[in-house]
Amino acid sequence: MPLDEYRRKRRFDVTAEPEGKPVKRRAGPKSAALAFVIQKHRATALHYDFRLQWGGVMLSWAVPKGPSLDPATKRMAMAVEDHPIEYNAFEGIIPAGQYGGGTVMIWDRGTWTPEVPDVDAALRVGELKFSLAGDKLHGSWVLVRTRPRPGQKRAAWLLIKHRDAWATTDDIAEKAPRSVVSNRLLVEIARDEGGDMKRAADGDPRALLRNLLDHLDEGRPASAARPARRAAANRRTATSPAKKKRLKEK
């Protein structure tokens, strides 16, 4: 069954991830509109889950460094288990101790169009060309399977941007780090959903984190702003009793 591995790895009485509708067998699409989603996922390490709807499931790859708009940059993409289509709407927390435990953001989503006549044949050969129409990613791309390394359990692919009007050297992961559905950073999702804020913050740009902290300070009364900094300043200027005694003796 297509989603057996996905379900075997998860406890749906613990995690809010969707179990998904039953899929008896992989089949071709029933409509021309095929969904794609990219979920920014701070689990043990930060990565981006790249998913393409096909055959009643979401074909999935984990991209450690995220997609690049630069055709000269090839991103490693490790094939992972198929996910249910319902997973496209999942943004939130996978509890600690569960498979993939951490914070999940819907980083981009939209539709994709194959640029090959037979997707299944392209996947078997190991070269799938397609175009994306998302909020952040657009234009022509390719997934290319590489030779397996010794001990590698799953196929490794490369995600590469084709040269077109959407190609650029801009770092899209740094330039557009927020969720396309909630406009939140990872740390804000963790804060709102009861996740690990410290771990989630590792996946957010440092400049935005500083701005977020400054904004929080601006919302406090002046007397309460930056208490740790104020306490540190007080310690630096305070005169100890022993020092006061020495000053009097002089």
Read out DSSP for 53-82? EETTEEEEEEETT---S-TT-PEEEEEEEE
- Contact indicator for 27, 54 with CB cutoff of 8 Å: no
Please give the pLDDT value at position 227.
Answer: 47
d(CA 13, CA 74): 38
**133: helix, coil or strand?**
strand
Please give the pLDDT value at position 156.
Answer: 93
Nearest 10 degrees: Cα torsion 144, 146, 151, 155:
20
- Residue 122's Cβ-side half-sphere holds a number of Cα atoms within 13 Å equal to 15
d(CA 95, CA 173): 25
Please give the pLDDT value at position 248.
Answer: 57
Give the predicted TM-score (pTM) of the model.
Answer: 0.83
Please give the pLDDT value at position 24.
Answer: 73
Please give the pLDDT value at position 243.
Answer: 54
And the tokens for 196? 């690990």
- Contact indicator for 119, 59 with CB cutoff of 8 Å: no
d(CA 42, CA 201): 9
d(CA 79, CA 49): 10
Please give the pLDDT value at position 236.
Answer: 45
Q: Which residues pair with 71 in a beta bridge?
A: none
And the tokens for 225? 């702003």
Q: Which residues pair with 131 in a beta bridge?
A: 113, 140
Running along the chain, 250 residues long, what does each successive block of 10 average in pLDDT?
93 97 71 90 97 97 98 97 98 97 98 98 98 98 90 87 98 97 98 96 92 69 47 48 56
Please give the pLDDT value at position 212.
Answer: 82
